[in-house]
Amino acid sequence: MPTKRSMKQILADNRIHWNNAQTRSVVRVNFQKMIDCRTLALGAEVYASDSGERKFFPHTCKSRACSSCGQRASICWQRERAAALPDTPCAGVGLTMHSDFWPIFQRNRHLLADLDALGAKVLQDWAEDKYGAEVAVLVVRHTFGGDLKFHPHLHILVWTVGLHKTGRRLVSDVCFPKDAIMRIWRHRLLDYLTMAFEAGLLSSDLSPKELLELFQAHRDRWWMPHRKYFKSKDAFLRYISRYLRRPPLAEYRLLPSEDQEVRFLTKDKKLGQTVTTVYTTSEFIARLSDQVPDRYRHAVRYFGLLAPRSFGKNAVFWALLDQKRRPRPKRITCADSIRATFGRDPLRDSNGESMYWNGRISPVKLEAT
């Protein structure tokens, strides 16, 4: 009879599919963290009340692949960015690529890191060439779709108010026509892949001739453009924070499944309805493994007026907007998150008395199942 299993159970019961030398080490580390999350394998904090009652709070893994660690991190990131960024009209731009190129980046993951700067440069150059302005750009790179296909694409927040190149005035109503932007992005990406191939940095199942013919065939091929204007940054931040600190598949989407398969809900955008996607367990774990980011890769990158080296220009931009920087909001604690989400106070004992920190338990090595 089909049973509903959590992500943690699926990984723990099928170590053979990921705990091996063929799997990237960062995947093995993150999957093990997910299994150990909220167990004594990571240690725990001990709280006690004056009545002698004690509670143990196992540590969380804080992995970006973990489904139980993303809620608080997403909210914290959204609040911090909302306070740090100015209130100006902006545009959300989605830069995609044709599915012919997904396997290339899946096989050559080292090339993914350059996509952020490549996409940001497209918008920066457009604003400078057409309006003589420098704009603020925030880039979030995703590698997944709803059905866990490896689908690299960029979500970009770009301000439609920029700083004139003289540095003395603002430029308003900077527009980013989606067809023109996508055309530039397509050519820049194809130029980048061609240079990577010529430098010997790109491997493929295709022959060199077939690869170059693929690049040339897409020079004038239509790619799907995405762009939406916002009056403020808040709507974009709410949207992107749902994916930024969380895994590509939420636990509630998992359905009861047989032992050798995984079934989950997927939104089919073409049909406009929710459908059931079925993978074998090995295929599901392989697709999930592809979505684990490599070490030392930032989930969000900042360019233009938001770049660290543009601190001086950023200060001028704030002054011309006549806005003051807001202080960084206080970090939400785990106890605060539990209170807000579940309506209960974890730091109260069974009699309603306050509990205080009483010590720490060191990590305990658990037997692998």
pLDDT digits over 17-67, tens only? 999 999 999 999 999 999 999 999 999 999 999 998 999 999 988 887 787
The verdict on residue 35 lying in a domain is: no
Q: Tell me the per-residue pLDDT of 78-113, one tens digit each, with 9 for 90 and over.
A: 889 999 999 999 999 999 999 999 999 999 999 999
Considering the domain boundaries, does residue 241 fall inside one? yes
* Domain extent at residue 150: 70-248+291-321
Over residues 292-313, the mean pLDDT reads: 89
Specify the higher pLDDT residue, 256 or 77. Answer: 256
pLDDT given at position 304? 94
Residue 203 lies in a domain: yes
Q: What pLDDT is attached to residue 72?
A: 78
Confidence of residue 153 (pLDDT cuts 50, 70, 90): very high
Q: Is residue 285 part of a domain?
A: no
* Average pLDDT score over residue span 207-223: 94
Q: What's the average model confidence in pLDDT over 153-165?
A: 94
Would you place residue 335 in the very low, low, confident or very high pLDDT band (cuts 50, 70, 90)? Answer: confident
Q: Give pLDDT, residue 56.
A: 92
According to the model, what pLDDT value does residue 106 have?
94
In this prediction, residue 71 has a pLDDT band, given cuts at 50, 70 and 90, of confident
207 falls within a domain: yes
Q: What is the CATH number of the domain that holds 159?
A: 3.40.1310
For residues 116 and 157, give the distance between their C-alpha atoms in angstroms, rounded to a whole number: 12
| Digit-coded pLDDT (tens) for 115-143 | 999 999 999 999 999 999 999 999 999 99
CA distance 203 to 112: 14
* pLDDT surpassing 70 at residue 366: no
Percent of the chain's residues with pLDDT above 70: 99
- The residue count for the chain: 369
- Tell whether the model's pLDDT for residue 202 goes beyond 90: yes
* Distance (Å, whole) CA 240 – CA 78: 9
The reported pLDDT for the residue numbered 367 is 63
In a domain, 349, yes or no: no
Query: Is 100 contained in some domain?
Result: yes
Q: What is the pLDDT of residues 231-273, one digit of tens each?
A: 888 888 888 887 777 788 888 899 999 889 999 999 888 888 9
> How many structural domains compose the chain?
1
pLDDT at 30: 93
**Counting Cβ atoms within 10 Å, is residue 369 exposed (0-12), middle (13-18) or buried (19+)?**
exposed
85 within domain boundaries: yes
